[in-house]
Amino acid sequence: MRLLVLGGTRFLGRHVVDTALARGDDVTVFTRGRQPNPWGSRVDARNGNRDPAVAPGLAALAEGEWDAVVDTSGYVPRIVRASAELLASRAGRYLFVSSLSVYANAAEPGLTESAEVGALADPATEEVAKHYGPLKAACERVVSDAFGDRALNVRPGLIVGPHDPTDRFGYWAARFVHPHLLGDRAPAAVVPAPPERPVQCIDARDLAAWMLDVVAAGQGGVYNATSPAGQWTFGDLVAAAAGVAGIGAPRPAWTGDDLLLEKKVEPWTGLPLWLPATMADVAGFMAFDCAKAQAAGLATRALAATIADTARWLAQRDNAGAWKDVLSADAERDILAARGAAA
């Protein structure tokens, strides 16, 4: 397969390229050129800017034909439209990496691909941080308009694994396997109760392999793409992390929402993956229906495998400047003291 990856040197895009090369695909990557090219001459590396208003724009893509495009770096409809329209006559299919954040209301578990997506009050806005979900939904429509039934919109949940630039899933791998990366930590780790709290995520390598499979098979349409609803809980995550750590793993200190909120822990980022029950509008965010993707072959590796690989990568990367938003060692000790745990 002749494959064009828009973005490709970071996280999911990097795993897409790795997987495609392993499959024997002919790969072109289009990036800003700010990150090193880890593949050298094995890929056709073209540089430019997704935004046609920023020179040199999409000039590097003026020539070439591809069987498929995988867009891992689209966030603004105007910018996605530029690439989709430019490539519509020269690419067989266009897979856009969207997000489960597109849904207008995630208060109920079990949302399928047919659920209502969010709409922009101002269609001209490009404030990604403020309107991430509705902007992704608008990007999906742009791709579908340009490619019709050749468009494939994939909505992942939390993407995890090696090369993840965020401190979300990686926090738990570090907290249990390499706690020294997070400072002078207590022997007990604050984890959000109850253990039955649902967790959904997808290893970037599993997502990358599946996306290449479905686009090569000529699939179109929309897919929720994360682990099956109900497959994992926070208890499973903690048990897997402790198992990878082995002897000397921190003991989990299960802590209720009330105390975490009282201590002003930031949901989702301060204590990663934690969404308190008071956030009723996202009560179903870790329980999406992904049966369609599973029926199309999406598989999830064991949590322990993802944790082990992520921990191994974290131990090797430069962690300077990391962990800025997560629960600090002092704040964690304060919570442990408040709940009566040995700090």
* Mean pLDDT to the nearest integer, 246-256: 96
Sequence-separated (6 or more) residues with CB below 8 Å from residue 246: none
Task: Name the percent of the chain lying above pLDDT 70.
Answer: 99
Number of neighbouring beta carbons within 10 Å of residue 318: 6
Tell me which DSSP letter residue 25 carries: -
pLDDT > 60? residue 260: yes
pLDDT > 80? residue 341: no
User: What is the predicted pLDDT for the residue at 321?
Assistant: 87
pLDDT > 90? residue 340: no
Task: Name the percent of the chain lying above pLDDT 90.
Answer: 97
| DSSP line for 93-149 | EEEEE--GGGBS--SSS---TTSPBP--SSTT---TTTSHHHHHHHHHHHHHHHHGG
pLDDT > 60? residue 160: yes
The per-residue pLDDT for range 178-235, each reduced to its tens digit, is 999 999 999 999 999 999 999 999 999 999 999 999 999 999 999 999 999 999 999 9
The per-residue pLDDT for range 224-247, each reduced to its tens digit, is 999 999 999 999 999 999 999 999
Confidence of residue 343 (pLDDT cuts 50, 70, 90): very low
The per-residue pLDDT for range 302-313, each reduced to its tens digit, is 999 999 999 999
Alpha-carbon span 70 to 18, nearest angstrom: 13
Residue carrying the six token digits 């090193």? 36
Rounded to two decimals, what is the model's pTM? 0.97
Alpha-carbon span 76 to 123, nearest angstrom: 10
Residue carrying the six token digits 């999906």? 140
